[in-house]
Structure 1
Amino acid sequence: MKTNSLSAWILAVRPYSLGNSVILVLIGSALAWTDRGFHWLPAVLCLAFALLMQCTANLVNDLWDFLKGADQPDRLGPDRAFAKGYITLGAMKAGIAGFTLAACATGVALLIWALHAGALRYGGWELVAAGAACIVFAWFYTAGPYPLAYHGLGDAAVILFFGLVPVGFTYYIQTGAWTPEVLVAALACGLVIDTMLMINNFRDREEDARCNKRTIVVCLGAGVGRWGYLALGTAAVALCLTLLFAGRTWAALLPLPYLAAHISTWRKMVRIDHGDALNVCLGETARNILLFGALFTLGILLGR
């Protein structure tokens, strides 16, 4: 692969993972639609911001996991562009800065729209705080003096920034509100997306232990990875079922096929147990997350 080529950058931003951001904004917007608060422009801006921030986080992760010794050219997981030498150090730093600035510009546009619409309760400072927190998370998930992923906080960070924040604020920006149903949906999304981190950490547990990357699986053992993966998807579907009490029958029941797919992948994960063969489960997990997002979004849109 040619150094700093378009193909190298596509590899670095990990397009297979970007569907996560898409489904989060879709679900938040679907909830806004059913509550008669949907607006297409902020929905598009939320999507752009989420995608740009995820690309930023992926690039920072690509760079700093290599610098900290977690990603070597012979890693078990999918290739990393910087570890393979496909992107130079200067280009990677420039790319991270570029994506961060583009996300900030999108956030400013979103803030301007929200202030003009007059839907915000706290004068826009809540959006500034949320945006700043997203940037801090993107950088300090693997970088900085206390990287979250290296101190057992990766899963909590994913549930917060790939669940509660994007779904909740996508809904809030459009409606000016935050309901218990939105909280349930956002938490369910965070749990589902954390299954991708869990399978990654389960696969990399021996490498992570060698480079002192203290993930939950490293700290508590492989058993926590096996059963934690199953519990995350199961808990997400259980949360969706609570929407029956809110009268959202379709949103509660349509995610059930996801659970069948999730359990099937979990059984394969347990059978394989270790090695790069677990990448099959990683691919299935990405597929399952998209399935959950599609079914949940459709269930929400089908209404009460």
Structure 2
Amino acid sequence: MSTREVSRSRAWLMAARPQTMPAAVSPVLVGAGLAVGRGVFAPLPALVALLGAVLIQIGTNFANDYYDAVQGADTADREGFTRVTAGGLIDPAEVKRAMWLTFAAAIVVGTYLVAVGGLPILIVGLLSVAAGVAYTGGPYPLGYHGLGDLFVFVFFGLVAVTGTYYVQAAARLGVEFLTLVPRPELVPLVAVVASLPVAAISTDILVVNNVRDREEDATTGKRTLVVRFGYGVARAQFLALLALAYAVPVGLAAATSAPTTLLPLLTLPYAALVARTLLAETSGEALNPALERTGKLLAAFSALFALGLAL
């Protein structure tokens, strides 16, 4: 294999951003763990949900890489990880094509989940793909107007966890295809509550990213929450989301008398390490490792939470 081929392969890997995969895998783990605990685990729908989540994550990463470059949000002063479009490693048209092909693959994979879960999954799936594009693309990019945090909280937390649980419960309990509002046993309150820690820590990944990029975003017109309100508000947001994440297992343990849901508290020292860095630093040199650590925190928390819910 030539140097050019190796370089190109690495460039596509950089564009896919494997370090962001915890945001795709974690909600599926939690949704599957809860399904095991409630006796509705269905391996094939869970596996297909995982594949669909990974494809949507990669498609969103391609979209961010492409749209941030063509809209001038990625500059030579960027402190984050290298973007392949802005860096000239891959032609913009190729990145855009890869984005649409990846989202198309997610839709194809999702047809099985639609067959299992009916109309709600069709609507949620299409909205997820549309939101993945609209995060940095389209006439009103969500991430450019301070709505990126809400997008991540909803789609990579609430929707992903409850959706994973729903398709398994639907496979086990049955569902009418055209029923728009699922029966309570298909999306129980506990599934919504269990999605909150994943939503919170996933959003914290974005908070770290946006704190690191604040100066560049301010000059390029990307009005994230930290650009609008400053470092102090962003740090308070980070801590509040962490508090929410750790409050949920405690609340579930108290409400259900199931102490196994307290397992995620084992990650508290690691969360404190990440928080300490964010509270003191703004440079890419410090926050790039913190960004990866926040992803690892999400993965570890979710794995322990899934295990606790299953038990």
* TM exceeding 0.5: yes
Return the structure number with greater relative CO, CA threshold 8 A, min gap 6: 2
Structure 2 Cα separation of the partners of residues 79 and 2 of structure 1:
18
Counterpart contact for 1:142–1:149, Cα < 8 Å: yes
Structure 2 Cα separation of the partners of residues 72 and 66 of structure 1:
8
Once the 2 structures are TM-superposed, how far is the Cα of residue 131 of structure 1 from its aligned partner?
0.6
Structure 2 Cα separation of the partners of residues 275 and 87 of structure 1:
23
User: 2:260 is matched with which residue: 220, 227, 250?
Assistant: 250
- Is the counterpart of residue 88 in structure 1 residue 98 in structure 2? no
Once the 2 structures are TM-superposed, how far is the Cα of residue 213 of structure 1 from its aligned partner?
0.7
User: 1:129 is matched with which residue: 123, 126, 132?
Assistant: 123
- Is the counterpart of residue 187 in structure 1 residue 196 in structure 2? yes
Task: For structure 2, list consecutive stretches of 5 or more residues without a partner in the other structure.
Answer: 171-185
Counterpart contact for 1:233–1:259, Cα < 8 Å: no
What's 2:159 paired with?
Answer: 165
User: 1:223 is matched with which residue: 206, 224, 232?
Assistant: 232
User: 2:41 is matched with which residue: 28, 38, 41?
Assistant: 38
Q: Could you tell which deviates more after superposition, 50-59 or 87-96?
A: 87-96
Structure 2 Cα separation of the partners of residues 250 and 298 of structure 1:
8
User: 1:8 is matched with which residue: 4, 11, 35?
Assistant: 11
Structure 1 Cα separation of the partners of residues 102 and 18 of structure 2:
15
Structure 2 Cα separation of the partners of residues 70 and 292 of structure 1:
32
Cα-to-partner distance string for 1:143-202 (whole Å, 9 max, x where unaligned):
011010011111111000110111101101111311111111112210011111000001
Once the 2 structures are TM-superposed, how far is the Cα of residue 15 of structure 1 from its aligned partner?
0.3
What's 1:138 paired with?
Answer: 132
Secondary structure of 1:72's partner? coil
Once the 2 structures are TM-superposed, how far is the Cα of residue 48 of structure 1 from its aligned partner?
0.7
What's 1:175 paired with?
Answer: 169
Structure 2 Cα separation of the partners of residues 298 and 30 of structure 1:
6
Structure 1 Cα separation of the partners of residues 29 and 294 of structure 2:
19
Counterpart contact for 1:61–1:142, Cα < 8 Å: yes
Task: For structure 1, list consecutive stretches of 5 or more residues without a partner in the other structure.
Answer: 115-119
What's 1:117 paired with?
Answer: none
Aligned residue pairs total 292
Counterpart contact for 2:210–2:226, Cα < 8 Å: yes
Counterpart contact for 1:2–1:8, Cα < 8 Å: no
- Write the mapping of 1:1-304 to structure 2, written as runs, cut at 5 A: 2=4, 5-112=8-115, 114=116, 120=117, 124-176=118-170, 177-244=186-253, 245-251=255-261, 253-302=262-311
Structure 1 Cα separation of the partners of residues 120 and 26 of structure 2:
23
Counterpart contact for 1:230–1:263, Cα < 8 Å: no
Once the 2 structures are TM-superposed, how far is the Cα of residue 275 of structure 1 from its aligned partner?
4.2
